[in-house]
Amino acid sequence: MRCGSPHSSSDAFPRIACAVSVRSCREIAPAVYEIVVDRAPASGFPDGTGRAGVPAPEPGQFYMLRARPSAVLLGRPISVYLSDESSITFLILKKGRGTAELCGLRAGDALDLVGPIGNRFVPPAELAGGAYADGRTVPPNPRVALIGGGIGVAPVAGFSLSLPAASFDFYASFRTAPYGLDRVSGRAASVFVTTEDGSAGVRGMLPAVFEPSLYDLVYACGPTPMLRYVKETCAAPTGPSGAGPIAFLSLEEHMACGAGACLGCTVRTVNGNRRCCVDGPVFDSSEVLL
């Protein structure tokens, strides 16, 4: 039932559920907060596990986060932006009550964390020069585009840090002021920014700058309409070779458990229902029905 393309590992990563301490939390753009947490479980909480720490995330994975104390019931799925040996950094868009609580945390506060959860962005190096699914192949030196829309820029920007410098182009689309690009700018071959209000980069949205025929592999995270565009434009035949790029989309759904148990985050695909949390969040665009 969970057959699928090679990128869809089914929850093979170790996870932890514990409280961790906030190192810093600051607003980096209107309603967008950068929050850094310790990977060591916080002491002084009854569920401090004593385990070594939160397992390191792979690019594309996420955690369920909830402030402590919290007036909401469930954690919120938040993608990893950056991580190192001792900390994990998230970008959070203040949207509802749960994210407002998280964005209101201060250094020294605690939050509940479960994760890392989900599959990952499979790096170009693992796909290069090989056969992919459905008879598609990836050339030895694939041309790579990374695309982030709004808060979806976080996991893609994080992923870019694991790729060789200048081995990819980066596209970032925002309504207004861009964020999350500090570490991308120096490493991407080219960075293309769009804003709907024209306050930075090209005025408009992703289609104003993105040309799928230039790429063999595309990795995208952002709002559903943008991902739908990426899916469709990458599926359209380009040039004499016929097929467009292979595109991987990181999806977002409402979630309850983040463990693959509740079936609340179901994603419809050509292979039947998949769970966004543990079968995703990264799906082959040709597989997912948006």
Minimum gap (Å) between residue 14 Cβ and another protein: 6
Nearer to another protein, 50 or 135 (CB): 50
Least distance CB 96 / another protein (angstroms)? 9
Among 105, 114, 227, 267, binds another protein (CB under 8 A): 114
| By CB under 8 A, residue 35 contacts another protein | no
Cβ neighbors of 150 (< 8 A, separation 6 or more) are: 93, 173, 174, 175, 222, 223
Q: Is 29 in the site for another protein (CB under 8 A)?
A: no
In this structure, what is the dihedral angle of CA atoms 210, 216, 220, 225, given to the nearest 10 degrees? 60
Q: According to the binding rule CB under 8 A, does residue 14 interact with another protein? A: yes
> Considering the rule CB under 8 A, would residue 65 count as an interface residue with another protein?
no
Q: At a CB cut-off of 8 Å and minimum separation 6, what does 231 contact?
A: 247, 249, 285, 286, 288, 290
Among positions 17, 128, 191, 243, the unique one binding another protein when judged by CB under 8 A: 17
47 is a site residue for another protein (CB under 8 A):
yes
Q: Which listed residue (147, 226, 246, 265) binds another protein by CB under 8 A?
A: 265
- Binding segment toward another protein, per CB under 8 A, in 85-93, 123-131, 200-208, 250-258: 250-258
Residue 263 lies near another protein (rule: CB under 8 A): yes
Q: For another protein, which is the closer residue by CB, 97 or 203?
A: 97
Give whichever of 131 and 261 is closer to another protein, judged by the CB atom: 261
The string of DSSP codes covering the chain is -----TT---S-S--EEEEEEEEEEEEEETTEEEEEEEEEEPTTSTT---SS-PPPPPTT-EEEEEEES-SSSS-EEEEEEEE-SSEEEEEEE--SHHHHHHHT--TT-EEEEEEEES--PPPHHHHTTEE-GGG-EE-SS--EEEEEEGGGHHHHHHHHTTSPTTSEEEEEEESSS--S-HHHHTTSSEEEEEETTSSSSEES-GGGT--GGG-SEEEEES-HHHHHHHHHHHHS-BTTTB---EEEEE-----S-SSS-S--SEEEETTEEEETTTT-SEEETTTB--
Least CB distance to another protein at residue 277 (A): 10
In the complex, the smallest distance separating the C-beta of residue 237 from another protein, rounded to whole angstroms, is 31
Q: From the CB of 263, what's the least distance to another protein, in Å?
A: 5
Judged by CB under 8 A, does residue 72 bind another protein? yes
**Residue of 7, 8, 16, 156 interacting with another protein (CB under 8 A):** 16
Which of these ranges, 73-81, 136-144, 179-187, 222-230, lies near another protein under the rule CB under 8 A? Answer: 73-81
CB of 1 to another protein, least distance (A): 6
By the criterion CB under 8 A, which residues form the site for another protein? 1, 11, 13-17, 46-47, 66, 71-75, 98, 112, 114, 254-266, 272-273, 278
